[in-house]
A and B are shown apart, each in its own frame.
Chain A
Amino acid sequence: NAGVTQTPKFRVLKTGQSMTLLCAQDMNHEYMYWYRQDPGMGLRLIHYSVGEGTTAKGEVPDGYNVSRLKKQNFLLGLESAAPSQTSVYFCASSYEGTGRLLNNEQFFGPGTRLTVL
């Protein structure tokens, strides 16, 4: 199993350009997440999905859009990049389940380092 993969690994954009980050998982997980990591701020949730065809906003959704057309893929889009979106982006996935027996460990991808000039 490859686990969670992210493409690309690095990207430099100019202000106003658009791009899409791709996350793929081969563990048949229902839940997928996009985070951004900034120094001293830990990881902040951008958007997440609880199943194919569903998406929901996290803590910092402004300036981003997402889509989950296939269960294994979760795309993060930046329509008009801004320097404030310079960050490291992590995708994660986890099992479906509820209650105390839920194993809701999240499995993370290796990250995408994005710089917006």
Chain B
Amino acid sequence: AQSVTQLDSQVPVFEEAPVELRCNYSSSVSVYLFWYVQYPNQGLQLLLKYLSGSTLVKGINGFEAEFNKSQTSFHLRKPSVHISDTAEYFCAVSKYNFNKFYFGSGTKLNVKP
């Protein structure tokens, strides 16, 4: 069975500082990996995804993530955050050839001025 762990439930950071949100997964088969963002009182929006190919994936709003198969991780990074990045971020995994997602518990990013 798949599971997704987001160890940090909350990450406070000052504006223009770099940030890394951690995601680890467990799976015995190949997976697809996703990061979604949820702004207050809204649905989830896709930030980026890894399906295959280059392990460094670039997404919207300046975010990127690196797939590390040996460490089973897919950490999200941004070199300089803005106040508008304040939101909750969810890592998700889906199994190769099967369209069912498993979500992590989420990380709340709080960007302070």
Which residue numbers of A lie inside 8 Å of B, CB to CB?
A: 4, 31, 33, 35, 40-45, 48, 50, 58, 90, 92, 94, 96-100, 102-106, 108-111
Shortest Cβ gap from B51 to chain A (Å): 6
B32-A104 in contact (CB<8A)? yes
B interface residues, tally (CB under 8 Å)? 26
Given A33, A98, A111, which contacts B43 in the complex, CB threshold below 8 Å? A111
Main DSSP-derived SS at the A contact region: loop
A100-B103 in contact (CB<8A)? no
Given A43, A94, A103, A104, which contacts B103 in the complex, CB threshold below 8 Å? A43
Q: Given contacts A42-B90, A43-B103, is CB(A108)–CB(B44) below 8 Å?
A: yes
Binary contact readout B66-90 vs A (1 if CB under 8 angstroms, 0 otherwise): 0000000000000000000000001
A31-B90 in contact (CB<8A)? no
A106-B101 in contact (CB<8A)? yes
Please tell me if B61 contacts chain A, counting CB pairs below 8 Å: no
Please tell me if B55 contacts chain A, counting CB pairs below 8 Å: no
Which residue on A lies nearest to B46, using beta carbons?
A105
